[in-house]
């Protein structure tokens, strides 16, 4: 894939999946803008010294002013929205604040970044969101209903926006990962069979294709990236 001359925003780009996506983009000659919230992630980000990477500190991507800070003045080819958060919890134990935290970090941030991306893409372009397996398979969201509701919203947003902007030449898609093989997930579930989990590089490869000029026809898809799990 060739991203030369193309500018891409990657939210959540300093995380495990985001780092793999940025690595693929840089290998394909893209210019990357990476907003980040957590300073510790930015400090250990492998690509922080790359001349084709611009890191931007933001407090909250569910804040329209922060999103405007990231996208202001940019002319983009693509925007990839990985940023989000996860919290488990039964409905009976989840208060309004916890519910809204999941909706803000996952859905509101994605919506605002999609809006900014549509206004920053001049001509053809691509948007890729990150949903989750429970967004497609609701019963698997038992015990994490707030997260499931938020990610289901990301899936619905993806399909609706794809229809809105198709005639403008912007193709909008999403991936829906199952549990990915990351150090944090291994630590949280030490008895799981890690060999079944998709690797972040494998999920990144799907994102990179959907965001690339090589993707000429796929839009409105919520692509399962489950590996063997």
Q: How does pLDDT run along the chain (229 residues), one tens digit per residue?
A: 999 999 999 999 999 999 999 999 999 999 999 999 989 989 999 999 999 999 999 999 999 999 999 999 999 999 999 999 999 999 999 999 999 999 999 999 999 999 999 999 999 999 999 999 999 999 999 999 999 999 999 999 999 999 999 999 999 999 999 999 999 999 999 999 999 999 999 999 999 999 999 999 999 999 999 999 8
> Domain holding 105: CATH number?
3.40.50.720
Which tokens belong to 118?
């549509």
Q: Is residue 86 part of a domain?
A: yes
Task: Output the pTM of the full model.
Answer: 0.96
Q: How far is CA 170 from CA 154, 178, 223, in A?
A: 17, 26, 17
Q: Is residue 2 part of a domain?
A: no
In percent, the amount of the chain with pLDDT more than 70 equals: 100
Measured in residues, the chain has a length of 229
At 78-104, the pLDDT tens digits run 999 999 999 999 999 999 999 999 999
Q: What is the pLDDT of residue 166?
A: 98
Q: Which of 3, 36, 71, 147 is catalytic?
A: 147
- The sign of the dihedral angle between the CA atoms of 88, 208, 216, 78 is positive
Q: 147 catalytic, yes or no? A: yes
Q: How far apart are CA 119 and CA 227, in angstroms?
A: 34
Q: What is the pLDDT of residue 229?
A: 86
Q: How far apart are CA 74 and CA 225, in angstroms?
A: 30
Total domains in the chain come to 1
Q: Is residue 172 part of a domain?
A: yes
Q: What is the pLDDT of residue 53?
A: 98
Enclosing domain of residue 47: 7-225
The 3-state DSSP class for residue 52 equals coil
> Residue 154, CB half-sphere, CA atoms under 13 Å: how many?
38
Q: Which ranges of 182-228 would DSSP assign to H, the alpha helix?
A: 183-188, 200-210
Q: How far is CA 30 from CA 2, 11, 77, 96, 164, in A?
A: 8, 15, 10, 41, 26
Q: Is residue 114 part of a domain?
A: yes
Q: Is residue 209 part of a domain?
A: yes
Q: What is the pLDDT of residue 198?
A: 92
Q: How far apart are CA 54 and CA 32, in angstroms?
A: 6
The 3-state DSSP class for residue 23 equals helix
Q: Is residue 1 part of a domain?
A: no
């Amino acid at each position: 894939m060739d991203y030369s001359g193309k500018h891409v925003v990657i939210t959540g780009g300093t995380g495990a999946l985001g780092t793999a996506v940025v690595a693929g983009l840089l290998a394909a000659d893209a210019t990357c803008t990476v907003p980040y919230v957590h300073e510790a992630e930015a400090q250990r980000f492998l690509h922080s010294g790359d001349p084709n990477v611009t890191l931007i500190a933001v407090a909250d991507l569910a804040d329209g002013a922060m999103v405007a800070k990231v996208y202001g003045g940019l002319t983009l080819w693509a925007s990839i929205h990985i940023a989000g958060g996860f919290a488990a919890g039964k409905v009976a134990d989840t208060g309004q604040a916890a519910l809204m935290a999941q909706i803000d970090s996952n859905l509101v941030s994605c919506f605002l970044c999609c809006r900014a991306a549509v206004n920053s893409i001049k001509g053809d372009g691509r948007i890729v969101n990150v949903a989750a397996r429970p967004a497609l398979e609701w019963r698997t969201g038992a015990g994490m209903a707030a997260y499931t509701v938020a990610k289901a919203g990301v899936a619905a947003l993806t399909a609706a926006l794809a229809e809105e902007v198709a005639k403008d030449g912007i193709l909008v898609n999403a991936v829906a990962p199952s549990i990915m093989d990351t150090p944090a997930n291994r630590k949280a579930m030490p008895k799981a069979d890690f060999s079944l989990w998709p690797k972040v590089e494998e999920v990144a490869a799907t994102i990179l294709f959907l965001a690339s000029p090589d993707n000429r026809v796929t839009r409105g898809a919520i692509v399962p990236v489950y590996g063997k799990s």
